[in-house]
Amino acid sequence: MGPVHVAARVVAAGTGLPGRGAQVRRRGCGVRLDDGVVLYARTQGIRAPGLGIVRPGRTDRLNGGRMYHAIVRRRITNAFAGLSAGSIDAITDELAPDAVHYFVGTHALSGTRRTPEAIRAWYERLLRLLQGIRFTLHEVRVSGWPWRTQVEAIWTETNYGTDGVQTSAEGVNLIEVRWGKVTSVRIYPDTAMLERTLQRIAAKGTAEALAAPITS
């Protein structure tokens, strides 16, 4: 199959502004990420007016990289905001079908999930046990390119359990994104605080707080 040309936006060199009329050139299909943005040419790079071909490894790619990282950062931020509003779809819509979801520890929210059904069931349990959960993102660090992007999302969460008692804890999500979809999520919270919360609400009658982890 010959090169496929797909419309894209890149950042014009030296301006910090989206460039118009850019094209991605790669063998195969472009990857549409957001708002009509299609990134990235791994084999032939990006052709944009005034830039020529911007290839991975050249200094000229930096502005395009910043734009891509900004897109990823915004999508991760929106996913956390959606979950804070009670939307599981805000998370699962970003996941690849074969995404792996891991939560550290040995408790009702721990373990590894490898199917969409198990991952959704985990988020349903999260919202049942930690009612009113809200995330404040302090920093979202993005590195890499679309074929392998690494994200560190540093956060504080506040919840009211099932008994109305407010608690807060800090944590970090380590996320891998490939071609616009999240392929791995590893969650590392303050496990001591979480386990105290689960034990507290279990003592008040929430049996699920001591249930076996959801795994697949």
Structural domain contains residue 216: no
Gap between the Cα atoms of 194 and 150, Å rounded: 26
Domain count, the chain: 2
Gap between the Cα atoms of 194 and 196, Å rounded: 5
Q: Are residues 44 and 90 in the same domain?
A: no
In sequence order, the 6+-apart residues with CB closer than 8 A to the CB of 203 are none
pLDDT in tens, 4-60: 333 333 333 333 333 333 343 333 444 444 444 444 434 344 443 343 444 444 433
For 15, which DSSP code? T
Provide the domain limits for residue 43: 3-58
Among 58, 77, 105, identify where a domain stops. Answer: 58
Q: Are residues 77 and 51 in the same domain?
A: no
pLDDT in tens, 196-212: 999 999 999 999 999 99
**DSSP of 62-115, one letter per residue?**
HHHHHHHHHHHHHHHHHHHHHHHTT-SHHHHTTEEEEEEEEE-SSSTT-EEE-S
The whole model's pTM is what?
Answer: 0.75
